[in-house]
Structure 1
Amino acid sequence: MYAASMSRRLPRALSRISKDLLNPSPLCPASEGMGSGLPASGKWVLSRSFSFQPCHGEGNVLARSQLWPINFQKIECNSIYSPILTANYSSEANTESTASLESVQELYEKMLKSVEARTMPPNALLWSMIGSCSNQEDIKLLFQILQKLRIFRLSNLRIHENFNCHLCMRVVEACVRAGAIDYGLIALRKHNVYGLSPTIGSAHYLLMYAKEHNDVKLMKKIVNIMEQNSLRPQPGTVDIIFSICYNTNASETLFMYAQRFVKAGIKLRRSSYDIWMELAARTGDSDAIWKINSLRGRVSKQYTVASGFPCVKGFLLEHKPERAAAAIQYLYQHLPEKTKPQVQGELQKLIIEWPLEVAKRKNKEERQAFVESLKNDVTLMVTSILNKGLDLSVDLEKLPQKV
C-alpha cells in the first residue's frame, strides 16, 4: 500500500519541481572576410552564446531525502552554453563556508561508509572535500567518491540526471588548484561515469591554467576536447586562446583558430581583434593585417592603440611612409585624452623592436636589405609626423643598424 501510494504521489511531486529556462541571445552571422560556412570538423555549429560568468553559491547537488528526492531541485544545463545559474539553493550546502579540519581521506571514508550503508551522505561533506583537495591523490579520491555517488543516485534514488553544472566547475577548479590537469580534462567530457555536467566555464579554468604556464600544447588539447564534446567557444574563450598564442608567439596556431572561430560564427571581442592584428604585424603580413582590420570594422569603427599601430606597420611594410604618418595623425586625433600618451611609447617600440621582430622571419639573405629599407621608410614617416605638427618625440638613433 505504501509503495503504491508513493508511486501515485511521485509524478505529481516531480511536476512541481521548477526548472531554470535559458533565454540565450542570437549570435552575429559569420564574417565573410575569412569565408563562410562551418569549420572542417563541423563540431561547432552556429548557436547562441553567453558571456562567461562564474557561478556563486553551492547548490544542492546530492539529495535532501534518503529515499525519494521529492525536494531535489534540478538545474538544467546545456553543455554548449555557460548559463548564469540562479537557482534557489538549499541552506544545507551553505555549511561549506565553515572550513572543515578533516582531511580529504577522512571525508572520503565518511562518505563511503554512508553510501555502503545505503544512505545519502550530507552535501556539506562533498563540498568540504572539493574545497580541501590540494594534490593528485586528493583529486583521485574525489573522483572515486563522485563515481560511487553517481551510482548510488541512479540505483537507489532513481536520479538519472548528472550533478548540476556548478559542481563540475568547482571540481575542475579543484583539479587546477591541485595540478591534476588530466582529471580536469576528464571532467570536460559530457559522457563520463562521474555524473559531471561540463560547461564552457569549466574549460575556462583549464585554459587560464594553460595561459599562466604558456602551455600551447595543453591549450590545443583543451580546445580539441571542447570540440569533441560540443562545448562551443565564447568570446571570452577566444580572448584566452589568442592571449596564449600571442604570449608564446604561436602565430600559425592563432591564425588557424581565428579562421575556425570566424567561420563558426563566434563573435570576437574588440580585444581579440587587437591581439590578432598585433600578431599579424609582428609576422610582417600586411595582407593579413588588412583582412583582419576589415573584420574588426564590423565590430567597432573606433581604433585603439593596439589596432591602430598594426595598420601603421602595414603601410610601412608596403613602403607607404606618408600614409603611415597620416594613420598616426588620425589615431592621435581620435583617441581619448587618457590614451594619447601611449602613442609615443608605441611609436618608440615600432622603431626599436618591430623591425628586428619582422626581420627574424625573413631569409638570411633578405634580412639586412629588409632592415635598411624599413629604416628609410620609418625615417620618412617620422619626418612627415613632425611636419604635421604632432608633439611626438622619438629617437631615430635607436633604429637597428644590423640584424
Structure 2
Amino acid sequence: MQFVSNARRASRYFLSSHSTTSFFPGLAADPTHCFLSKAFYSSGLDTVQQSPSEDVKEFYDKMLDSVNVKRSMPPNAWLWSMIANCKHHHDITLLFDILQNLRRFRLSNLRIHDNFNCNLCREVAKACVHAGAIDFGKKALWAHNVYGLTPSVASAHHLLLHAKNHNDTKLLVEVMKLLKRNNLPLQPGTADIVFSTCYSTDDWELIDKYSKMFVKAGVKLRQTSFDTWMKFAAKRGNTESLWKIEKLRSDSMKQHTLTTGFSCVKGLLLEHKPSDAVAIIQVLNQTLPDAKKSGIKDELQKLVSEWPSEVIKHQKEEDRKALAASLKSEIITLVTELLSMGLEAKVSLEDLDQKEAIPQ
C-alpha cells in the first residue's frame, strides 16, 4: 500500500507543468508519467510521433500493473509483443523503463540475479534501430546495465548494419569501442560489416585500423571480407598492403574468388608484371566454377574502363601522369597476351583513351 501511495504522489508531481522540462535534459524523470503529462502532449515539439504507440503503451501499462500492483511477473509474451510493436523513440523509452522495472522485480521478489538471455537483447537492439533510437541501442551493449540485458555481438551487428546502410563511420567507431569496452568477442560477421562500411565510405585508414584488430583477435575472416579488403587495396593502389592481405588469405583459403584474383591482377599490373597477371587469369579460368567464369570478361572490362581512374586519383598528383602512361601500356600488353593464348578477352581498349578512364 505504501508503494501505491508513493506512486500516486509521484504521478501528481509529474503531471505538473515541470514534467516536460524534467524529462528531456537527461531522462532524469520517470518516463511513464511524462508520457501521461498534458504538458508533454502540448509541448509543441516538432515530431511525427509525440506519444508512444497505442499497443506499446497498452503492454507497458499491463506489465507495470503486474509488477507494481499485483506483485507478479507478467507473461513473457507481453514483453516480446511490446518489443515487436516499437516504432518510435518514445516506444523505446517505455520499453527500457519496463525492462528496468522487470529486472528490479526479478531481483527483489523472485531473487533472480541472472539477466535476461541474449536473444532478448538482440531483439531489443533490433527494435532500437527500427525505431531510430540509436542512443538506446548503444545502451543495450553495456555489460553492466540496469535493464537486465545480456549484450552480445549479434546485438551489436544490428547497430553496425545501420551504420553501414547510412555510411555512418562515426556510429561504426562508437559501436566498435563499445564492443571492446564490454569484452564482446569479434566475429567473422562483424568484419564483413565493418570492411564493407569502410569500403563504401572510402575510408582506408579505418579498414586498416580494424583489420589489425580482427587479425590480432584471431578472427577467422570469411572470403567475403578478403574480397572487400583486397579490392579496396587494389583500388587504392596499395600493393604493399595487397600482398600482405593475400598472404593472410592464402594461409586459410586455397583458391581465389573472382574478386581476390583480379585484385592480384591489378597489383601485378601496378608492379609492371603483365605476364604474371595473365597467369592469374589463366588460373581463374581453370579453377572457377562454370557459373563464375563468365564474370572474367566483365572484370576485364572494368579493369580497362573503371579501375585506372580509381587508382590514379588516389596517388600523389605528381605521380599520376607517369602512372597513367604505365597502366595504359601494361593493360594493352595484358589483353594482347590473353588474345594470343586463345582466352576470350572481348574488351574495348578504346576506353583507355577516354579521359574518364585514364586522366590525361
Query: Any runs of at least 4 consecutive aligned residues in structure 1 with deviations exceeding 6 A, and if so which?
Result: none
Q: 1:138 maps to what in 2?
A: 91
| 1:119 Cα offset (Å) | 2.2
> Who is 1:105 aligned against?
57
In the alignment, the residues of structure 1 paired with residue 159 and residue 188 of structure 2 have an alpha-carbon distance, to the nearest angstrom, of 16
Q: Structure 1: which 5+ runs fail to align?
A: 1-100
Q: Equivalent residue for 1:241?
A: 194
Cα separation, 2, equivalents of 1:239 and 1:254:
11
Residue identity in the other structure for 1:115: V
* Deviations, residues 37-85 of structure 1 (Å, cap 9, x unaligned): xxxxxxxxxxxxxxxxxxxxxxxxxxxxxxxxxxxxxxxxxxxxxxxxx
Give the C-alpha shift of residue 102 in structure 1. 5.3
Number of the residue aligned with 2:334: 381
Residue of structure 1 equivalent to 2:109: 156
Q: Residues 269 and 299 of structure 1 are in contact (CA less than 8 Å); yes or no, is this contact kept in structure 2?
A: no
User: Secondary structure of 1:157's partner?
Assistant: coil
What secondary structure, in the 3-state scheme, does the structure 2 residue paired with 1:338 have? helix
Conserved? CA contact 2:297–2:344, under 8 Å = no
Deviations 1:110-154 (A, max 9, x none): 221222212222222212211111000000000011111111111
Residue aligning to 2:148: 195
- Alignment partners' CA distance in 2, 1:334 and 1:114: 64
* Contact 1:270-1:299 at 8 Å conserved across structures: no
Instruction: Give the counterpart of 1:304 among 257, 260, 266.
Output: 257
If asked which structure has higher relative contact order (CA below 8 Å, sep 6+), I would say 1
- Matched with 1:115 is 67
**Identity across the alignment (%):** 53
The Cα RMSD (Å) is 1.3
- The verdict on how the C-alpha distance between 1:330 and 1:148 changes in structure 2, with shifts beyond 3 A counting, is same
SS of residue in 1 equivalent to 2:292? coil
Q: Distance in 2 between matches of 1:170 and 1:107?
A: 17
Q: For 2:173 and 2:75, how far apart are their aligned partners in 1?
A: 38
Q: Which amino acid aligns with 1:107?
A: F
> Residues 186-215 of structure 1, C-alpha deviation per residue, up to 9 Å, x if partnerless?
001110000000111111111111121121
Aligned partners of 2:300 and 2:182: how far apart in 1? 45
**Partner residue in 1 for 2:307:** 354
Partners of 2:275 and 2:337 within 8 A in 1: yes
AA aligned to 1:163 is: F
1:167 aligns to 2:167 (yes or no):
no
Whole-angstrom distance in 2 between the partners of 1:363 and 1:108: 59
Question: With structure 2 as the length reference, what TM-score do the two structures score?
Answer: 0.82
Give the aligned partner of residue 402 of structure 1.
Answer: 359
Distance 2:180 2:266 in 1: 35
TM-score by length of 1: 0.73
Cα contact 1:325–1:384 (8 A) shared by 2: yes
User: Could you say what secondary structure the match of 1:298 adopts?
Assistant: helix
Higher helix share: 2
The separation in 1 between residues aligned to 2:358 and 2:232, in whole angstroms, is 24
Q: CA deviation at 1:401?
A: 4.6
5+ residue gaps, structure 2, are 1-52
Supply the distance in 1 between the matched residues of 2:84 and 2:359 (Cα, whole angstroms).
Answer: 56
Per-residue Cα deviation, 1:353-383 (whole angstroms, up to 9, x for no partner): 1111111112222212211111011111111
Query: Structure 1's 401 and 130: CA in aligned 2 closer, same or farther, altered over 3 A?
Result: closer
> How big is each residue's C-alpha offset from its partner over 1:194-242, in whole Å with a ceiling of 9 and x where there is no partner?
0000111111111111121121111111111001101111111111111
Between stretches 325-334 and 311-320, larger displacement belongs to 325-334
